[in-house]
A and B are shown apart, each in its own frame.
Chain A
């Protein structure tokens, strides 16, 4: 009853032997990945061996047809060992979901998904842009027709302020204005292959935490087929898929980080208790407090996951585009990002100097640093500003 971890059984995919191996490999290299700020290449290779990069691809194209629950569980398991690996896995699955759910009957994207399965291609995203002030729903760069073609080619150049694992990905999903004359909010998503484009890093990635995601800025330039534009407006992709799936999978990364910190604090308290058998160490009370906060955190994240699962593929899909849902999914992101930092902070308080040290079984420095990225990935203040406006019309609880 006192177990801090999730009592529910792992779904089949996350419980598979190959995936468990990837989880172990992520754990083994997590410290080195963090210290050197390097891409977790061993763990990502192991995820490829487990065919995990195509879990979100529907069965008919050779994927595993995984739902949000499976992907969330896998993200959580990875992030408990190495938050950077968990975040890379999460971001890749967000791109896959955006394609799967919005490609309509595009032949090009159907064939592409088969390649994702066959080649275990890793997809990065360029939704940020220098000059839009952090607003993902605005673009400056535009899809521009190539004049000397049969009208089936377009080109673009974008200054992305960050592309996570951009130097290690095979493909890139980029937000762009739909045409040179389009309004800044009239966006589309374009998929291009790094092998066929120019991508120049425009800065370094030397950060407090999440160091292994390797997310510097890039200037990307590409020419591609018009078929490589997802046949849906970015506004519907964002509302129905990218925003909710991002916030749900990110929340599982943060829950994983917090759970790791909790486990370390619990080991510390147990070790203290063993030194004085028969007495409960004072830190046990703090651990109990943290345990109740973790229960809240898990409940919050699970409820949001279940709500999305119940709406995503049904005739209720339109409910994802309502203001009420936008408010709730923004609230998930805000609350989960704050809960993760608080949990790591509490774990540090319990472990004391053993937690403050950068090495050892009770160290929670990496977890605390990683957790601090949560409030910044789409800044919480931006989400509060959005919700503040939405709450002018949305009557919560009605």
Chain B
């Protein structure tokens, strides 16, 4: 993949993550102020909502997060989720 293609895939991944976050993180109107680096927990995501979000992400990207990745830090922002998903997809390839 060329660097340009790779960047395009990354931004597409983040767009899909943003969509899932909007649907499942339970942020309500606070979602409007979320950018890709916003701390979702500080924005009001509860522990329960984060679990729902994880399941939705697993469905969307057809993968399973290993135990070591099931941590607060990994799901703290769209950016950190994207990094985690990309690393899992690279392992699969």
Contacts and interface: CB of A to CB of B under 8 A. Distances in A.
B15 interface: no
A186 B51 contact: no
Contact of B70 (A183, A186, A236, A323): A323
B31 interface: no
B89 interface: no
Interface string A87-118: 00000000000000000000000000000000
Interface residues of A, number: 24
Interface stretch (A40-48, A151-159, A343-351, A390-398): A390-398
A386 B46 CA distance: 11
B29 interface: no
11 contacts: A182-B42, A183-B30, A183-B42, A186-B41, A239-B72, A318-B73, A321-B71, A323-B67, A390-B51, A393-B58, A393-B70
A185 interface: yes
Top 8 closest A-B pairs, CB basis? A323-B70, A183-B44, A324-B67, A321-B71, A322-B71, A393-B54, A186-B42, A389-B51
B63 to A, nearest CB: 12
Interface string A175-191: 00000001111100000
Size bracket, chain B contacts: 20 to 34
Contact of B48 (A186, A236, A389): A389
Contacts of A182: 42
Contacts of B68: 319, 322
A235 interface: yes
Nearest to A386: B47
Contacts of A302: none
Interface core residue of B41, B64, B72 (most chain A CB under 10 Å): B72
Contacts, number: 56
Contacts of A386: 47
Interface string B53-93: 01100100000111111111100000000000000000000
A124 B58 CA distance: 42
A286 interface: no
Interface in B11-35: 30
B73 A185 contact: no
A390 B67 CA distance: 11
A185 B46 contact: yes
Given A235-B72, A322-B68, A398-B67, A393 B44 contact: no
Interface of B: 30, 41-48, 51, 54-55, 58, 64-73
Given A137-B47, A186-B42, A235-B41, A318 B55 contact: no
Interface string A376-396: 000000000010011011110
A319 B58 CA distance: 21
Interface in A217-254: 233, 235-236, 239
Given A186-B42, A389-B47, A392-B51, A321 B72 contact: yes
B46 to A, nearest CB: 6
Contact of A393 (B30, B41, B55, B73): B55
Contacts of A239: 72
Contacts of B65: 393
A395 B72 contact: no
Contacts of B54: 393
Contacts of A392: 51, 55
A247 B54 CA distance: 26
A185 B44 contact: yes
Interface in A131-149: 137
Nearest to B72: A321
Nearest to B49: A389
Contacts of B66: 398
Contacts of B70: 322-324, 393-394
A233 B41 CA distance: 11
Nearest to A138: B46
A233 B48 CA distance: 19
Given A393-B65, A395-B67, A183 B43 contact: yes
Contacts of B67: 322-324, 394-395, 398
Which residue, of B44, B45, B47, B64, has the highest number of chain A Cβ atoms within 10 A?
B47
A324 to B, nearest CB: 4
Given A186-B42, A398-B66, 11 more contacts: A185-B42, A185-B44, A185-B45, A318-B71, A319-B68, A322-B69, A322-B70, A323-B51, A392-B51, A393-B55, A395-B64
